[in-house]
Amino acid sequence: MKRAEILLSFMDALQAFIEKINTYIDKGIEIFQIAKEWIMKILEYIEQGIDGLVEAIGGRSLKVDLLEFQDEDLFV
């Protein structure tokens, strides 16, 4: 009987420990999602800045016509 009580108390302690770890994991996932949103916003601002700089310099122009490529120019 004593062994069963020890085993049950150990299992309860283990379950509480795992639940605590689970809450930390959930909180970490939330923090990473917020960080991902911030990084995406930062990348968006950088992209807007680069586009603005390119437009200020003279815009984008392709001097090579895509139809002029030969078969040996294509990489697989």
Tens of pLDDT, residues 27-76: 999 999 999 999 999 999 999 999 998 888 887 665 545 555 566 666 65
Question: How far apart are the C-alpha atoms of 25 and 18, rounded to whole Å?
Answer: 10
pTM of the entire predicted model: 0.56
- The pLDDT assigned to 20 comes to 97
Answer whether 60's CB lies under 8 Å from 54's CB: yes
Sequence-distant (6+) residues with CB within 8 A of 54 are: 60
Task: Report which residue type is found at 42.
Answer: I
41-57 b/e (C-beta count within 10 Å ≥ 16 → b): eeeeeeeeeeeeeeeee
- The pLDDT assigned to 2 comes to 87
Residues 14-32 have a mean pLDDT of 97
